[in-house]
Structure 1
Amino acid sequence: MIYTDNNLILMEDSLDNLYSFFLNNGNISSYYFEREKNKVREKKISEGILKDYDVSIDDKDNIFIVFQDKNYHLVLMVIEKENTKKIILTEEPIPEVFNLNIKILNNKPHIFYCVLLEDLKYRIIHHYYNGKDWTTNIVEDIKVNQILNPVKILKAKEGLKLIYYNKKKTEEIYCKNFSFKRWKWENSVKLTENPTIKLYLDSLIIGEDLHLVYCQYEENLVVKYERYNCNNNIIIKEIDMELSNRENIRWPILIYYEGSLWVVWVEYENIISRFSLDNGNTWSPIYLWQGIKNKDIVLYKYITNKKNRNLLNNSFGTIGNNINFVGFGTLDNAIEIPLKKKKSLSYRRL
């Protein structure tokens, strides 16, 4: 079975030690795989968590965990080796938070979350520490079509980019920049331009290019890939294409691995993917990954502070002590499947 709603986070530190965080019955726990000693330790991190949490790590391997407790306060835990510090970030209870994310940028925490304002309307909030004080920004009030889709926070050259959905006339995907020079949010830029229903979201920045994947409803769900050039903060769309057949699809994700750009998704109970060797200009055939029928596959959020060429926000993988990622890399366990031709549309003359 493939599970995508599981709150599982994998994190690698600078020494290649691996942490696996999970939320169970309101408790955050972790498995710590210590590489040098080849040992595994389980540890309860915190209890009394409402629903959501997130984890990040700085350059010194200090771990940051943010969550909302059952008293509706936002809490930040900082773990420095054996020392743990807990900070209550809110002076009074706040509404339930959604899409809770923490990013460590220049070794400072940036926390993002959404709160419900009214039916189908949410507020995106940015809470950050500048080294002296905590500051709270209202990024934007957004409307949704039916459900609240994910948001993505990406590190850029001189700040960060927020990729998110908003419904004005139609629900589209937008990009908004936060400048570290001015410490303020700039105007949003609309990326997509079509009235169809959209679901899911993943994005990566590679060089000057912003890569985007999501699902679009065309008789069924289809994986859409788009690439934008972001040189000098001017966003120009370069590629807009469909990568999948129209099937029962979930959770397309982007992975940049060993110089190849992969798009991986769930199709029924299969892991499917395609890859590009030229930054998204052309794409391989569609591949189905074998050998997972009798295994439990989960969607991990992936975090690391290591400086390497591989980039990913998430990955599908096996669960347990022997974790293996699925859907990218060597094709030994993958078979090619056909890309079906689109049905042509006929119109009656009036």
Structure 2
Amino acid sequence: MTINNTNETFPISDKNIQGLTDISIKYSKIILSVMEEAQKNIVGQEEVIKKIIISIISNGHVLLESVPGLAKTLMIKTMAEIFSVNNVRIQFTPDLLPADILGTKIYKNNTGTFEIQKGPIFHNFILADEINRAPPKVQSALLESMQEKQVSIHGETFQLDKPFLVLATQNPIENEGTYKLPEAQVDRFAVKILINYPTIDQEIKIMERNTSNMQIKINPIVKLNEIIEMQEFNEKIYADNIILKYVAKIIDATRNPKKYELDLENIIEYGASPRASIWLIKTAKANAMINGRGYVIPEDIKEVAHDVLRHRLILTFEAEADEINSDTVIDRILEKIVSP
């Protein structure tokens, strides 16, 4: 696993930014250890692992999508073990109820009173497995906890412990027995990561690992308080006003493509929300940290753009009929908007 270092190309003159870079280099070494530890349990998928770490550092929820059998759940379980946090796996099914996730009030005969029985949502990492197999009512039960980091149970509100992240997996909507996630919930995921099939060499390694008596032990690398420290430091990484303007133009191009001479009016039905611009900056900062920089460069934005935007663009029926997906649209926008 290699991490690109661009310090030579973009020299730092400001002492404050140099201090941020020094801290970023320290954290990048820890993150490299996390990636190497994850590779003990997961064959290939380096970019996917990196994007999950970026989302954790930026304190954003993750949505993983692929066909069944590509180790989505294994990836998330592995990351939870490496980050040494309280985690729980919730298997989403058609008969799941909101109370099964959030909790409910239970009557106690011995005291004659109702007591709150907290649900599995009260953990640091929530592994929401096959989230699109549960009906919309259950999916929507996560909305408050994902955005406000709190849970309301029968009129009582409870704050969730930090860090709190939902790491969800879903199978493509074409698969039978799935329910499309509500747009309001999809927008609350910082990134949507697509997982591709392994190469032939990786397939052979997967077979070797899973058809022998090989025992793999994952060691915790990062403690809970260290995660919070990294998340707080991520906010301090410097993003120049030029970078902010660059991101603003990218987002504006999804809403007003004609303004940027992009022929996308019949392709994009609804552009990205302001949440997209926020997460573009946050995840770009995390990407900068991984690369040992205390400042954001345009390449950081480009590297996370597809994962941040692909689930936030709503395309027209014409686009779907022509088999044009969000990634194609994002490519065209990034090509058109000149980077600083």
TM-score bin (small chain): under 0.3
Q: TM-score scaled to structure 2, two decimals?
A: 0.27
Higher relative contact order (CA 8 A, sep 6+): 2
TM-score by length of 1: 0.27
Name the one with the larger helix percent: 2
